[in-house]
């Protein structure tokens, strides 16, 4: 922290000294995600894109950098800050059964995922490694496999455990035939996240490794349940996602919602952590002029960061799903302009 020192001196050499410390705020990092985890290099080229979100399942044998993703190493070595979302969720075929593999000199057999999440009625419920499985140590091999790959990556990343715990738990979860409510699922997830953090932090990690847990941030009670102070003391960032999906929703109101809940409900440790917006987007169906909406984001972030509560440190545009830029060229141009504007510079 820089310090300015004032000295007042009289003719006889008597002096008085006063000091004042100040902090220089780093620019907010403007970031991106391209649908399907595809190579975003071309979209980011020439723009002030300094942050990227990626998704991997612990079930996948290729977590770092990912299967056929050499570009991730290039971007990371070029200084793009990676937010790697590592999920217990199984992304589906081909290997939803048990897995046997060797990491370094250790042989592991990890059982098939035993939990279902995102149990929205009328949909096929995705499978995930269960919180009970994690706590019993049955997923240690998955953690070890990811860590072994991470150590070869060449740079530190933020590991975001889970994509959206609220989305995962909204309709309850089921593990080994036992149903858990939303709140029960949150409590079990916090235990499992703690287990995974303990596992990683007990081992040598690449420099600049940080951790967070993932939430969409649409439910206030869930947000509070999944951010207890003991867990936050082991995490480096808060995180939530931001979407505008209805007419009249402003950037300020959407980015503000979860932040205000955090400021009102969370403890001092949580509030000392900066926030990563792992996904943000504006849905063209309701808000066709995506570039106009995107243009309001820098001022909204600057205003929120001038208020009490966690500072938003990174915002990664989600060019997929709800955030799909259409037409892409106009949306990308708006993003480039926004990221060339304070507080992004």
Partner 1 sequence: MATPIATAALSASVYAPGDQMLLTITYSDADTKPLTVTIVVTDAQGNSSAPVKVAAVIDPLTVTVTDDSGRTWNRVSDNGAVAVYRAVA
Number of shown-chain residues binding partner 1 (CB under 8 A): 27
**Smallest gap from residue 341 Cβ to partner 1 (A):** 12
* Exposure string over 265-298, b if 16+ CB within 10 A, otherwise e: ebeebbbebbbbbbbbbbbbeebeebbebbbebb
* C-beta of residue 31 within 8 angstroms of C-beta of residue 54: no
What are phi and psi for residue 11, nearest 5 degrees? -65, -30
**Smallest gap from residue 312 Cβ to partner 1 (A):** 13
Binding mask 304-343 for partner 1 (x = CB under 8 A): --------------------------------------xx
Closer residue to partner 1, CB minimum distance, 30 or 331: 30
* C-beta of residue 320 within 8 angstroms of C-beta of residue 34: yes
**Smallest gap from residue 227 Cβ to partner 1 (A):** 24
Choices 8-16, 274-282, 285-293, 322-330 (CB under 8 A): range interacting with partner 1: 8-16
Residue 103 to residue 159: CA distance in whole angstroms: 20
Give the H or E element holding residue 179.
strand 178-180
Closer residue to partner 1, CB minimum distance, 255 or 344: 344
Closer residue to partner 1, CB minimum distance, 22 or 202: 22
Alpha carbon 334 to chain centroid distance?
23
Choices 23-31, 73-81, 87-95, 155-163 (CB under 8 A): range interacting with partner 1: 23-31
Residues between 186 and 205 that touch partner 1 (CB under 8 A): none
What are phi and psi for residue 293, nearest 5 degrees? -65, -45
- What does the radius of gyration of the chain's CA atoms come to, in whole angstroms? 22
Binding mask 25-64 for partner 1 (x = CB under 8 A): x-x-------------------------------------
- Site residues, partner 1 (CB under 8 A): 2-12, 14-25, 27, 342-343, 345
């Amino acid at each position: 922290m820089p310090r300015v020192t004032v000295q007042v001196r009289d003719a006889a050499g008597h002096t008085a000294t006063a000091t004042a410390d100040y902090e220089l705020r780093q620019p907010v990092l403007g970031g991106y995600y391209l649908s399907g985890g595809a190579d975003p290099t071309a979209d980011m080229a020439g723009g002030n894109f300094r942050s990227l979100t990626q998704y991997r399942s612990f079930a996948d044998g290729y977590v770092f950098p990912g299967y056929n993703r050499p570009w991730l190493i290039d971007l990371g070595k070029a200084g793009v800050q990676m937010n790697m979302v590592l999920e217990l969720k199984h992304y589906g075929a081909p290997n939803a059964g048990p897995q046997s593999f060797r990491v370094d000199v250790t042989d592991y057999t990890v059982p098939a995922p035993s939990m279902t999440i995102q149990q929205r009625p009328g949909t096929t419920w995705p499978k995930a490694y269960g919180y009970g499985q994690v706590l019993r140590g049955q997923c240690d091999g998955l953690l070890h496999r990811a860590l072994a790959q991470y150590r070869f990556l060449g740079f530190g990343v933020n590991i975001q455990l889970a994509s959206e715990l609220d989305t995962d738990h909204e309709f309850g979860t089921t593990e080994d035939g036992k149903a858990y409510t939303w709140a029960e699922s949150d409590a079990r997830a916090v235990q499992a996240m703690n287990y995974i953090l303990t596992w990683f932090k007990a081992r040598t990690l690449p420099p600049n490794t940080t951790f967070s847990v993932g939430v969409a941030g649409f439910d206030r009670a869930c947000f509070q349940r999944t951010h207890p102070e003991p867990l936050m003391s082991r995490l480096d960032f808060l995180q939530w996602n931001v979407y505008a999906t209805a007419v009249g929703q402003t950037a300020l109101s959407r980015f503000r919602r979860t932040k205000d809940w955090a400021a009102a409900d969370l403890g001092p440790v949580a509030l000392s952590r900066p926030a990563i917006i792992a996904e943000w987007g504006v849905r063209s169906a309701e808000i066709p002029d995506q570039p106009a909406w995107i243009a309001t984001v820098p001022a909204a972030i600057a205003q929120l960061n001038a208020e009490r509560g966690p500072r938003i440190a990174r915002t990664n545009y989600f060019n997929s799903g709800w955030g799909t830029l259409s037409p892409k060229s106009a949306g990308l141009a708006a993003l480039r302009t926004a990221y060339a504007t304070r507080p992004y510079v």
